[in-house]
Chain A
C-alpha cells in the first residue's frame, strides 16, 4: 500500500465515521447529499486537509467522480489562471480556523474554468477543536461574464462619448479659428482702407479733398474702434457698449489736440449685440463729431458722456458746452443723414435739448431683454 493509497483510505474511513454519526434517515445528511448546492467536507486533522466527503452537486459542477475527490486536497480545482493571492487567502483562513467567503477561478476535470463563489467554514467539536471544514461552492461564471460584458459595453460607450466630445471640441476650435481668421481679415481691410485714405489725404494739395478724405477716415476709424471690441471675449455675439463709447470719444477728442476740452464719463457696462456694432459706432461718431464741429474744436469746453442700461434699453447721454449753433453746410447735412439712417436701422430714438449753454443729446436703443440676448 503506497502513502497515497493509505491517505485515501484514511479519508474514506473518516468519511464513514462521519456518516456513522448520522442515521441514514438523518434529514441533515440527506439534505447535504441531495442539495443542488455543491458542497464538500474536509478533515484538517489529516495530513494536507483532504476531502472526506463530497455531494453529487459537487461532482456535477467539477466533473470529478466522488472516488476521484476523496483523499485529495481542494487544490486540484486550481489552474493556470487561478489567482495566487486568493489561494493564499484560503490557506490562511484554514490555518487561522476561520470562515471565508471569496471568489476564485477554478477548473473542472476537463480543464474548463469556472468562477467559484467559495464559502469556507470550520466545524468545531463540543470541546471547541476544529474537526472539519465545510465548503460550499457557487458557479457564478455567467454573472461574471455579464459583468465583464457590461464593463466592456460601458468602456465602449465611454470611448464613443470621448470620441464625440473630441469631435465637438475640434469643431468648436475650428469655428473659433475661423472667426479669428475672418476677424483678422476684417481688421486688416479696415486698416488698409484707412491707409489709402490717409495716403491720399497726405498727397493732395486741395484742402477740400483733404477735408473730405478725413471726414470719411473718421467714419472708417469709428468702425475700426468698434471692430477692436468684437470677439475679445468668449461671448462673440456681444460687446460692451460703454467700453466702446469711452474708447471712441477718447480717441476723437484726442485727435482734436486741444488741452481745453474736458472729457468726462459715467459708464456702466452694457452688452450690445455684435450685429448692431456698426450703426452704433456711426451714431456715436456723428454725435461727438457734431459737438466738435459746433465749437469744441474751436473753443474747447466740456463733454460728458453717460452710458448705462435704462429700463431695459441702452441709454447714451451726451452733454456738451459747445456753442449751440448749427454749423450748417454739406458736412452737417451728411452727418445728420448718417445719424438718422443708423438710428432707424437699430430702432433708436434720439432727442436733443438745449439748456442755456449746455446741449444734451439722449439716445435710447432697445436691446433684447433676454439677458441682452441674441441678435434678432
Chain B
C-alpha cells in the first residue's frame, strides 16, 4: 500500500514508517500539520493513511480526516484521546489508541491490509477501536 503518515512527533512517525516498510508498504509522505497533510493528500495517490489528531497546528487531525474521506482515502486515527473523535469518526475506519504496543499495531495493520483488499470478514483486533459505521457494516 502507498501510505501517508500524519504525525507531529518525528520519532513516532519514523518508527511507524519502519514498521510499515517492514510489512512491505511504501510510506509516500509524512505530514506534521493539517496543511501539509492536505497538500500531500491532493497530490499523491494514496491507499491508506494513519492520522494523529493533535498536530503542529492544533487538534486539526479531524479536519485532515474529513479531507481524506472526500478524497476516498481510507484511514485510521492514532490518538491518545478517543473522546476527541467525532461521532461519525470523520469517515475513519477506526482508531488505534496511543500509546499502542508493537503487537497491537501489527494486528491492527493486518486488519487494515485485509480491509483495503476488500475483505469485510474477520474480528476486529483489540487494538483497533472500530468506527460505528464499520461495526454496522461488519
A residues with a Cβ closer than 8 A to B are 180, 183-184, 187-188, 190-192, 194-196, 198-199, 202, 217, 221, 224-225, 227-228, 247, 250-252, 254-255
Cβ contact within 8 Å between B18 and A194:
no
Cβ contact within 8 Å between A199 and B18:
yes
Cβ contact within 8 Å between B9 and A198:
no
Given A188-B99, A191-B9, 16 more contacts at CB 8 Å?
A: A183-B81, A184-B54, A188-B80, A194-B99, A194-B102, A195-B14, A196-B11, A198-B18, A199-B15, A199-B18, A202-B22, A217-B102, A224-B99, A224-B101, A227-B99, A228-B98
Cβ contact within 8 Å between B103 and A254:
yes
Q: Which residues of A contact B103 (CB under 8 A)?
A: 251-252, 254-255
Given A199-B14, A199-B15, A251-B103, A188:B98 Cβ within 8 A: yes
Q: How far is the CB of B6 from chain A (nearest CB, A)?
A: 15
Residue of A nearest to B82 (CB): A232
Partner of A192, one of B12, B100, B101, B126: B12
Instruction: Tell yes or no: B29 within 8 A of A by CB.
Output: no
Instruction: Tell yes or no: B132 within 8 A of A by CB.
Output: no
Cβ contact within 8 Å between A195 and B15:
yes
Cβ contact within 8 Å between B14 and A184:
no
Given A183-B80, A198-B19, A191:B14 Cβ within 8 A: no
Q: How far is the CB of A240 from chain B (nearest CB, A)?
A: 15
Q: How far is the CB of B17 from chain A (nearest CB, A)?
A: 10
Partner of B101, one of A187, A188, A221: A221
Partner of B97, one of A199, A217, A228: A228
CA distance A192 to B101 in the complex (A): 11
Q: How far is the CB of A347 from chain B (nearest CB, A)?
A: 28
Instruction: Tell yes or no: B60 within 8 A of A by CB.
Output: no
B residues with a Cβ closer than 8 A to A are 9, 11-12, 14-16, 18-19, 22, 54, 80-81, 97-104, 107, 126-127
Residue of A nearest to B84 (CB): A180
Cβ contact within 8 Å between A255 and B102:
yes
Q: Which residues of B contact A187 (CB under 8 A)?
A: 80, 98-99
Given A247-B126, A250-B126, A198:B102 Cβ within 8 A: yes
Partner of B127, one of A194, A227, A251: A251
Residue of A nearest to B16 (CB): A195
Q: How far is the CB of B74 from chain A (nearest CB, A)?
A: 23
Q: Which residues of A contact B126 (CB under 8 A)?
A: 247, 250-251, 254
Pairs across A and B, CB under 8 Å, 26 listed: A184-B54, A184-B80, A184-B81, A187-B80, A187-B99, A188-B12, A188-B80, A190-B99, A191-B100, A192-B12, A194-B15, A194-B99, A194-B102, A198-B15, A198-B18, A199-B11, A199-B14, A217-B102, A224-B101, A227-B99, A251-B101, A251-B126, A251-B127, A254-B103, A254-B126, A255-B102
Q: Which residues of B contact A188 (CB under 8 A)?
A: 9, 12, 80, 98-99
Residue of B nearest to A180 (CB): B81
Q: Which residues of B contact A221 (CB under 8 A)?
A: 99, 101-102
Q: How far is the CB of A34 from chain B (nearest CB, A)?
A: 79
Cβ contact within 8 Å between B9 and A251:
no
Q: Which residues of A contact B104 (CB under 8 A)?
A: 251, 254
CA distance A195 to B130 in the complex (A): 24
Cβ contact within 8 Å between A228 and B14:
no
The 9 tightest CB contacts between A and B, nearest first, are A195-B15, A255-B103, A224-B99, A187-B80, A191-B99, A221-B101, A190-B99, A187-B99, A195-B11
CA distance A190 to B99 in the complex (A): 7
Which residue of A184, A190, A227 has the most chain B CB atoms within 10 A of its CB atom?
A184
Q: Which residues of B contact A190 (CB under 8 A)?
A: 99
Residue of B nearest to A191 (CB): B99
Q: How far is the CB of A300 from chain B (nearest CB, A)?
A: 17
CA distance A228 to B127 in the complex (A): 11
CA distance A192 to B15 in the complex (A): 9
Residue of B nearest to A228 (CB): B97
Cβ contact within 8 Å between B98 and A191:
yes
CA distance A232 to B22 in the complex (A): 33
Q: Which residues of A contact B18 (CB under 8 A)?
A: 198-199, 202
CA distance A199 to B19 in the complex (A): 9
Partner of B107, one of A195, A199, A254: A254
CA distance A252 to B101 in the complex (A): 9
Partner of B11, one of A183, A192, A254: A192
Cβ contact within 8 Å between B54 and A255:
no
CA distance A283 to B104 in the complex (A): 20
